[in-house]
């Protein structure tokens, strides 16, 4: 792993080669180890080291160029600086360029685990074997993926800014299908520590979902009360993180824009209560279960920020340029999202629904309309009917057309959040929740 | 010359680390076809093969790769609270260099990769790959079996007239800025965005079976789009000029006529902003190649991947409704439908001479007269469906990525020359003509899909009318392709594609093209989207 001194040396070296007034350097180094399995056996796996040094140079009249190199030799770094400076010289002035940030006080985040950083295949294989054993015992078929990474990241610039951080991350996820391909279950765990992953526990969840799903009934599309498990909620709210940009909101292109005449429309909904009291959505770089970094893309220190606080739109994301124009303090980038919850269990949620559906996770989410944040996607790996407070039959999958904004507006009850890492929107903290009138638009025959 | 495993010798000490650190010395040049790979690269290949053999590997391959991605572009958008337009340029040139080693030990794959390209590191990483394979053998389902492959020693460069990296950045910026400025000329247009992307993939492949292959591929990605906003009614629409991304050089950018198309998309985005909403229901669709390529990609390209059908992607990208029992007999669509998998076709983004298994690439039928015939395959899967050779669909998106089955260019054959797009439209009483791409989503077995578009025109009484808005269509893959009753002729065939098709864990991207002619689909479910 690149040490703080290694990163400092790389950054100093790059800055030493730089001739333009501004030079900003990002260093990313990752060592990861992964195992992929399918059809009840390991298929591909690997161990690798990757590294990237991104160099941005800016002239006095705000012309910028960026070069990324993957080699650490003096020659490669020198070439990278030369390339960035040549691009800057040729580019045009950027009216939105902001002066380099001086030294910052970055927060200390505790998300590095020595055990995880040193773990190799021999530590991960037993987790895989636990899942395969569960599959074989139940005559099912498992496919999945376990990985861990150790990461060193660094930033620096000519104005004296320097930052260094290390973090680890790990995840185990798998899908359990029956031999006939008529049922599918799924489970996931992720943590900065590989020790938190437990194949034996995880496989119970997927087996239960898969076995329950073997005789699924056909259910018509329509609007249903839906309990979304944490993975499904994370799929939706992860997308919502992109929707709090002040620029889009102030320029009439966001669900947070009010209709009105002129270039700025009718202003924004900042400060207004758009959601029920139980909805609080925030970013928290100090959440120890999430692999955050101390800074965001603007290099400002990451902070806790509430986007929705007890139903009220509390903050918009102002980058440094837009904040200056608006006369506001710039906002740290939404590094992760935490949807706060309530002291209910998933069983409590199920017990409180007279007729509805329990949804495991979502898939292939795409934006239908960026202005309204209408999305489309599908359910996957387990949809179950709830009748009179009990899970009864497994039912078919659906395509849905919905907005996470409206889903949160119609939310009536939540559990406490847990970390979820998913394919659709990275790592976030999400609870399970009950929402009403969820628009399941058509049937998906997929299993 | 045969370069079999047995003839290799350990020559690591003769390859100086210092001479190999700077990857550009080894890569980045076009070479006449049929010439030999770089001698320095071959020496490094020997290091990996010798070490793999020493460690007990029954198969090994090494890929050394240099990747270059250059982007330049402009965003034109208004300043806060004023009508002043900020013109924001961006230029970036990204390089990545390193190597990956795959081995088979005890019948199990192992892979390891590093950015430090020296003989010593190649030997070390080869040992790491062996360690990975040995650890995994404890949970092996069945030993890996590779379909036979011929041995090649070759060097190949994709077709391009003018190296896009040799064109001055100034010229690129001026072109894209002019187009973006022209596209935003009307004050009612809120913002415009233009970009040029260039990608070079230069890689060396050596295998323990004796192959030694160096290939250099250059791809280009032009883009121009505009956004209009109706503040009063809270509506925002974007219109893009869909340019064919392709394996080609700067000449493709010149042919794209970005500047000439800017006024057209400017007026079309304003028409779209004011367009009435579509009346939902069953309608006939005439889909242009700029749109239909993505429907082909999602519904045919992905459903005919063998690794999906066999369950290897069950946890991520999903499986396929086209199970192996359906190969050779399942009617996927109408008789008009003939689809090929092809990594040899002109300008295709997935076109290359050899795949990442070292297999000479091919063109093969996927669907013939509507019937599903063949899957996309690689060496370690062919035997699982009783085939004796790979169809050359192996690809890893980086030196640090495990190569696996990725999509070739998958294209729909044109109809008879006599069929024009106007003929297709004239046969529609109530329908929609769709150009370009909007939202796209399909389930994990590739049944239920829903697609938007970039622009929509009403078709009434056989005539193309004005624009309509808020259109998406939803269908089930076989139903949709059965509803195809017209495909225009070869003159209208165009190839579009994307650089970022995702699949695999860890996730990888694949660049792939899909050609087709304008085609007609009857009575498809059209939705009103927002």
- Token pair listed for B110: 């192992």
In the prediction, which pLDDT does A69 show?
Answer: 95
Reply yes or no on whether the pLDDT at B298 is more than 70: yes
Q: What is the pLDDT of residue A340?
A: 98
Judgement on whether residues A127 and A233 belong to the same structural domain of the protein: no
In a domain, A305, yes or no: no
- Helix axis angle, A121-137 to A199-212, nearest 10°: 30
Q: Are residues A217 and A206 in the same domain?
A: no
How far away is chain A from the Cα of B27, in angstroms, using its nearest Cα?
Answer: 14
Provide ipTM, 2 decimals.
0.94
Q: What is the distance between the alpha carbons of residues A20 and B370, in angstroms, rounded to a whole number?
A: 61
Same domain, A437 and A392: yes
Chain B residue numbers touching A70 (CB-CB < 8 A): 95-98, 115
C-alpha distances out from residue A58 to A15, A93, A403, B72, B206, Å: 12, 9, 40, 16, 42
Shared domain check, A168 and A156: yes
Determine, for residues B236 and A73 on separate chains, whether the beta-carbon distance falls below 8 Å. Answer: no
Predicted local distance difference test score (pLDDT) of residue B29: 66
Asked if the Cβ–Cβ distance from B444 to A261 is below 8 Å, we say no
- By CB atoms closer than 10 A (0-12, 13-18, 19+), residue A271 is exposed
Rounded alpha-carbon distances, angstroms, from residue B72 to A94, B91, B174: 13, 4, 10
Cis peptide before A139 (omega within 30 of 0): no
Give the pLDDT of residue B83.
80
> Counting every residue, how long is chain A?
447
Q: State how beta strands A222-228 and A355-369 pair.
A: parallel
Give the residue carrying structure tokens 């998106």.
B397
- Extract the tokens encoding B13: 């000490």
Strand A184-191 vs strand A411-414: parallel, antiparallel, or unpaired? unpaired
Domain match, A88 and A223 both: no
User: What one-character DSSP code corresponds to residue A312?
Assistant: E
Contact A70 B95 (CB under 8 A): yes
Asked if residue A179 and residue A153 are part of one domain, the reply reads yes
- Find, among B98, B343, B75, B72, the residue nearest to B198 by Cα: B72
Nearest to B215 by CA among B200, B230, B194: B200
Say if strands B484-487 and B212-230 run parallel, antiparallel, or are unpaired.
unpaired
Structural domain includes residue A431: yes
In a domain, A122, yes or no: yes
Query: A418 lies in a domain?
Result: yes
**Residue B25: pLDDT over 90:** no
Q: Kindly list the residues from chain A whose CB atom is less than 8 angstroms away from the CB atom of residue B136.
A: 35, 42, 45, 121, 125
Structure-block tokens of residue B455: 């622009």
Give mean pLDDT, residues B232-259. Answer: 93
Q: What distance in Å separates the CA atoms of residue A143 and residue A381, rounded to the nearest whole number?
A: 13
Give the model's pLDDT for residue B10: 26
Asked whether residue A266 is assigned to any structural domain, the reply reads: no
Percent of chain B scoring above 70 in pLDDT: 94
Q: Which residues in chain A are closer than 8 Å to B312, comparing Cβ atoms?
A: 38-39, 43, 143
For residue A355, give how far its alpha carbon lies from the nearest alpha carbon of chain B (Å): 25
Kindly report the backbone phi and psi dihedral angles of residue A154, in degrees, each rounded to the nearest multiple of 5, phi listed first.
-145, 150
Please list the rounded mean pLDDT of every run of 10 residues in chain A (447 residues).
Answer: 97 98 98 97 95 97 96 94 96 94 95 96 94 98 97 98 97 97 96 96 98 95 98 91 89 88 80 98 92 90 96 96 95 91 98 98 92 93 98 97 96 97 83 98 94
What pLDDT is stored for residue B11 in this prediction? Answer: 29
Nearest to B83 among A247, A263, A443 (CB): A263
DSSP secondary structure of B264-292:
HHHHHHHHHHHPPBP--EEEEEEE-HHHH
Q: How confident is the model at residue B1 (pLDDT cuts 50, 70, 90)?
A: very low
- The domain boundary, picked from A168, A195, A212, lies at A212
Q: Which of B86, B232, B447 sits opposite A96 (nearest CB)?
A: B86
Mark yes or no for CB contact A259/B232 under 8 Å: yes
Which three-class secondary structure string do you get for B230-252?
ECCCCEEEEEEECCCCEECCHHH
Q: Are residues A190 and A230 in the same domain?
A: no
Does A188 fall in a domain? yes
- Beta-bridge partners for B205: B63, B213
Q: Which residues of A touch B232 (CB under 8 A)?
A: 259-261, 265
A233 and A175 inside one domain: no
The answer to whether the CB atoms of B439 and A446 lie below 8 A apart is: no
CB-count burial class (<10 Å; 0-12, 13-18, 19+) for B494 = middle
Summarize pLDDT for B159-178 with one digit per residue, the tens: 999 999 999 999 999 999 99
Nearest neighbour of A363 by CB, restricted to B92, B112, B443: B443
C-alpha span between A330 and A318 (Å, rounded): 5
- Return the pLDDT at B15: 35
Q: What is the CA radius of gyration of chain B?
A: 25
Q: Which token pair is B58?
A: 């029954």
| A378/chain B closest Cα distance in angstroms | 6
Residue A309 in any domain: the answer is no
**Domain match, A159 and A233 both:** no
Same domain assignment for residues A166 and A136: yes
Residues A84, A228, single domain; the answer is no
Mutate to test the interface with B, among A6, A20, A43 (most CBs of B within 10 A): A43
- Average pLDDT rounded to a whole number, residues B431-436: 98
Residue with tokens 């040549």: A86
User: Nearest by CB to B314, which of A177, A252, A378?
Assistant: A177
On chain B, the residues whose CB falls within 8 A of the CB of A67 are: 92-95
Domains with residue ranges and CATH for chain B: 5-274 (3.30.2290.10), 281-528 (no CATH)
A188, A171 Cβ separation under 8 angstroms: yes
pLDDT tens-digit readout, B364-423: 999 999 999 999 999 999 999 999 999 999 999 999 999 999 999 999 999 999 999 999
A77 and A117: one domain? yes
Residue A434 in contact with residue A225, Cβ under 8 Å?
yes
Place of tokens 């062996």: B130
- Residue A297 domain flag: no
Query: What number is the average pLDDT over the span B465-474?
Result: 97
B154 contact partners, CB below 8 Å, separation of at least 6:
B33, B34, B36, B37, B212, B213, B214, B353, B354
Q: Which domain holds residue A193?
A: 4-212
> How many structural domains is chain A composed of?
2
Model pLDDT for residues B325-336, shown as the tens digit of each residue: 999 999 999 999
Residue B161 burial by CB count (10 A; 0-12/13-18/19+): exposed, middle or buried?
A: exposed
Contact assessment for residue A86 and residue A157, using Cβ atoms and an 8 Å cutoff: no
| Confidence at B157, pLDDT banded by 50, 70, 90 | very high
**Nearest-5° Cα angle at B372, B370 to B377:** 145
DSSP B297: I
CATH number for the domain that contains residue A114: 3.30.2290.10
Question: Which residues in B460-489 are b (16+ Cβ under 10 Å) and which e?
Answer: eeeebeebbbbbbbbbbbbebbbbbebbbb
Rounded to an integer, the average pLDDT of B194-218 is 97
Q: From the list B21, B140, B447, which residue is nearest A71 (CB)?
A: B21
**pLDDT (average), residues B420-444:** 97
**What separation in angstroms does the CA of A25 have from each of A10, A101, A291?**
9, 12, 21
Could you tell me the pTM of the whole model?
A: 0.95
Instruction: State phi, psi for B222 to the nearest 5 degrees.
Output: -85, 150
| pLDDT in the model for residue A242 | 77
């Amino acid at each position: 792993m690149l040490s703080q001194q290694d990163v400092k040396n790389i950054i100093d070296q790059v800055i030493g080669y730089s001739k333009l007034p501004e030079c900003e350097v990002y260093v990313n180094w990752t060592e990861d180890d992964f195992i992929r399995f399918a059809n009840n056996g390991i298929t591909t796996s690997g161990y690798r080291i990757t590294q990237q040094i991104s160099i941005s140079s800016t002239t006095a009249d705000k012309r910028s160029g960026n070069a990324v190199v993957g080699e650490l030799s003096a020659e490669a770094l020198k070439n990278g600086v030369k390339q960035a400076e040549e691009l800057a010289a040729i580019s045009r002035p950027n009216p939105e360029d902001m002066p380099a940030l001086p030294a910052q006080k970055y927060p200390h985040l505790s998300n590095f685990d020595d055990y995880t950083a040193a773990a190799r295949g021999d530590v991960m294989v037993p987790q895989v074997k636990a899942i395969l054993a569960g599959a074989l015992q139940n005559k099912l078929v498992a496919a999945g993926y376990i990985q861990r990474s150790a990461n060193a990241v660094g930033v620096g610039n000519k104005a004296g800014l320097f930052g260094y951080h290390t973090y680890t991350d790990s995840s185990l996820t798998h899908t359990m299908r029956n031999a006939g391909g008529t049922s599918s279950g799924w489970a996931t765990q992720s943590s900065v520590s590989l020790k938190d992953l437990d194949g034996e526990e995880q496989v119970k969840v997927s087996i239960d979902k898969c076995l329950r799903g073997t005789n699924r009934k056909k259910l018509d599309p329509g609007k249903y009360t839906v309990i979304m498990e944490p993975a499904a909620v994370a799929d939706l709210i992860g997308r919502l993180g992109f929707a709090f940009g002040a620029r889009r909101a102030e320029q009439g292109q966001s669900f947070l824009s009010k209709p009105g005449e002129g270039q700025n429309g009718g202003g924004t909904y900042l400060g207004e209560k758009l959601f029920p009291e139980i909805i609080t959505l925030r970013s928290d770089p100090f959440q120890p279960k999430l692999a955050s970094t101390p800074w965001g893309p603007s290099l400002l220190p990451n902070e806790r920020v509430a986007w929705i606080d007890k139903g009220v739109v509390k903050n918009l994301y102002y980058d440094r340029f837009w904040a200056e124009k608006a006369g506001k303090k710039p906002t740290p980038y939404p590094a992760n999202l935490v949807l706060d919850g309530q002291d209910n269990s998933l069983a409590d949620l199920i017990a409180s629904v007279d007729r509805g559906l329990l949804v495991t996770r979502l898939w292939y989410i795409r934006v239908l309309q960026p202005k309204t944040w209408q999305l489309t996607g599908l359910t996957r790996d387990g949809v179950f009917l709830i009748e009179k407070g009990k899970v009864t039959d497994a039912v078919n999958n659906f395509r849905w057309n919905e907005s996470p904004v409206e889903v949160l507006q119609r939310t009536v009850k939540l559990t406490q959040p847990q970390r979820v890492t998913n394919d659709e929107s990275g790592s976030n903290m999400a609870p399970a929740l009950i929402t009403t009138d969820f628009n399941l638009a058509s049937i998906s025959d997929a299993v | 010359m045969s370069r079999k495993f047995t003839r290799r010798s350990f020559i690591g000490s003769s390859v100086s680390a210092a001479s190999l650190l700077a990857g550009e010395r080894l890569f980045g040049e076009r070479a006449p076809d049929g010439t030999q790979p770089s001698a320095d690269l071959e020496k490094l290949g020997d290091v990996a093969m010798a070490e793999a053999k020493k460690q007990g590997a029954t198969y090994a391959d090494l890929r050394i790769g240099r990747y270059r991605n250059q982007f330049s572009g402009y965003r034109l958008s208004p300043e806060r609270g004023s009508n002043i337009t900020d013109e924001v340029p961006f230029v970036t040139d990204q390089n990545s260099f390193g190597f990956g080693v795959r081995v088979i030990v005890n019948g199990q794959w192992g892979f390891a990769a590093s950015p430090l390209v020296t003989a010593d590191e190649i030997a070390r990483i080869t040992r790491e790959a062996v360690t990975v394979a040995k650890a995994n053998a404890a949970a092996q389902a069945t030993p890996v079996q590779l379909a036979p492959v011929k041995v090649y020693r070759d060097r190949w460069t994709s077709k391009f007239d003018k190296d896009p990296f040799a064109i001055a950045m100034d010229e690129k910026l001026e072109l894209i800025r002019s187009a973006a400025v022209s596209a935003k000329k009307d004050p009612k247009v809120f913002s415009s965005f233009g970009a040029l992307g260039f990608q070079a993939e230069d890689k060396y492949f050596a295998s323990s079976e004796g192959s030694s292959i160096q290939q250099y591929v250059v791809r280009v990605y032009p883009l121009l789009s505009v956004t209009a906003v109706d503040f009063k009614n809270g509506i925002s629409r974007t219109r893009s000029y869909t340019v064919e991304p392709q394996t080609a050089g700067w000449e493709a950018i010149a042919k794209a006529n970005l500047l000439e198309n800017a006024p057209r998309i400017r007026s079309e985005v304003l028409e779209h902003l004011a367009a009435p909403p579509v009346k939902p229901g069953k309608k006939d669709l005439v889909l242009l190649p700029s749109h239909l390529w993505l429907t082909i990609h999602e519904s045919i390209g992905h459903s005919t991947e063998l690794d999906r059908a066999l369950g290897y992607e069950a946890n991520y990208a999903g499986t396929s409704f086209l199970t192996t029992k359906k190969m050779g007999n399942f009617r996927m669509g109408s008789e008009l439908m003939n689809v090929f998998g092809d990594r040899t076709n002109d300008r295709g983004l997935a076109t290359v001479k050899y795949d990442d298994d070292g297999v000479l690439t091919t063109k093969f039928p996927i669907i013939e007269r509507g019937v599903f015939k063949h899957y996309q395959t690689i060496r370690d899967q062919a035997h699982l469906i009783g085939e004796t050779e790979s169809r050359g669909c192996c690809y890893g998106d980086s030196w640090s990525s495990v190569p696996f089955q990725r999509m070739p260019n998958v294209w729909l054959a044109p109809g008879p020359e006599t069929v024009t797009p106007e003929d297709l439209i004239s046969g529609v009483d109530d329908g929609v003509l769709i150009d370009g791409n909007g939202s796209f989503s399909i389930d994990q077995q590739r049944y239920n899909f829903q697609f938007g578009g970039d622009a929509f025109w009403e078709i009434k009484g056989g005539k193309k009318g004005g624009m309509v808005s808020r259109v998406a269509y939803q269908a089930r893959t076989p139903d949709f392709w059965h509803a195809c009753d017209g495909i225009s002729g070869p003159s209208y065939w165009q190839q579009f594609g994307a650089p970022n098709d995702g699949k695999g864990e860890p996730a990888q991207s694949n660049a792939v093209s899909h050609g087709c002619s304008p085609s007609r689909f009857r009575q498809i479910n059209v939705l009103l989207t927002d």
